[in-house]
A and B are shown apart, each in its own frame.
Chain A
Amino acid sequence: MRLEDSSPGRATMTLGGAWVLAHLTETLPRAVDPAVSPGTLQLVGRASVLDSAGALAIARQVARWEEGGWRVDMTSLPESQHKLIALLKSRLPDMHLPSAKREGALARLGRATVDKLVEGNAFLGFIGELVSRGGRLLLVPWRIRWREVVAEIEAAGLRALGIVGLLSFLVGMVMAYQAGATLQDYGANVLIVNLVGIITLREMGPLLTAIIVAGRTGSSYTAQLGTMRITEEIDALRAIGIPPFDILILPKVIALILVMPLLAVFANLMGLLGGSVVAAYRFEVSFAVYFDRLPEVVDLTTLMLGLIKMPVFAIVIALIGCMQGMRVAGSALAVGRATTISVVQATFLVIVIDALFSVLYNLLGY
Chain B
Amino acid sequence: MSETTASLSGIRNCFGSECVHDGLDLALPSGRITALVGGSGSGKTVLLRTLAMLHEPDAGSVELFGVDAGRCGERRRRELREGIGMLFQGGALFTALTVLENVMLPLQEHTRLRGAWLKELAMSKVLMAGLPADSAGKYPAALSGGMVKRAALARALALDPGLLILDEPTSGLDPISAAAFDALVRELTDSLGLTVIQATHDLDSIWRGSDQVAFLARKRVLAMAPAAELARRDEPELAAYFRGSRSAEYAKLHAGLPTED
Chain A residues with CB under 8 Å of chain B are: 20-22, 24-28, 51-53, 56, 60, 80, 83-84, 87-88, 91, 94-98, 100, 329-333
Contact = CB atoms under 8 A, between A and B. Distances in A.
B133 interface: yes
B140 interface: yes
Contacts of A98: 100, 133-134, 136-137
B127 A94 contact: yes
Interface in B71-120: 95-96, 100, 111-117, 119-120
Contacts of A84: 191-192
A333 B96 CA distance: 6
Given A98-B134, A333-B96, A91 B127 contact: yes
A26 B113 CA distance: 4
B117 A331 contact: no
A22 B95 contact: no
Contacts of A80: 190-191, 193
Nearest to A333: B96
Given A26-B114, A98-B136, A331-B96, A56 B120 contact: yes
A52 B111 CA distance: 14
Contact of A24 (B111, B127, B141, B157): B111
A22 B111 contact: yes
B6 interface: no
6 contacts: A26-B115, A26-B117, A27-B117, A80-B193, A98-B137, A330-B141
A330 B95 CA distance: 8
B115 A51 contact: no
Contacts of A332: 95-96
B241 interface: no
B120 A331 contact: no
B45 interface: no
Nearest to B127: A91
A331 B112 contact: no
Contact of B133 (A56, A96, A330): A96
A97 B137 CA distance: 9
Nearest to A95: B123
A100 B95 CA distance: 18
Contacts of B159: 21
Contacts of B113: 21, 24-26, 53
Interface string B119-151: 111011101100001101101110000000000
Contacts of A333: 95-96
B89 to A, nearest CB: 15
Interface string B183-201: 0000000111100000000
B202 interface: no
A303 B140 CA distance: 53
B160 interface: yes
Contacts of B134: 98
A18 to B, nearest CB: 12
A81 to B, nearest CB: 10
Given A97-B136, A331-B139, 19 more contacts: A21-B111, A21-B159, A24-B112, A24-B113, A25-B112, A26-B117, A27-B115, A28-B117, A52-B157, A52-B160, A56-B124, A80-B193, A87-B191, A88-B128, A96-B133, A98-B133, A98-B136, A331-B95, A331-B140
A337 to B, nearest CB: 10
Which 9 A/B pairs are nearest by Cβ-Cβ distance? A331-B95, A98-B137, A333-B96, A51-B160, A91-B127, A330-B141, A94-B133, A26-B114, A95-B123
Nearest to A99: B137
A53 B160 contact: yes
A143 B120 CA distance: 59
A162 B24 CA distance: 51
A80 B188 CA distance: 11
Contact of A53 (B119, B121, B136): B121
Nearest to B161: A51
Interface string B159-178: 11000000000000000000
B95 A95 contact: no
B237 to A, nearest CB: 35
A123 B173 CA distance: 40
A52 B115 contact: no
A25 B111 CA distance: 8
A52 B124 contact: yes
Contacts of B157: 52
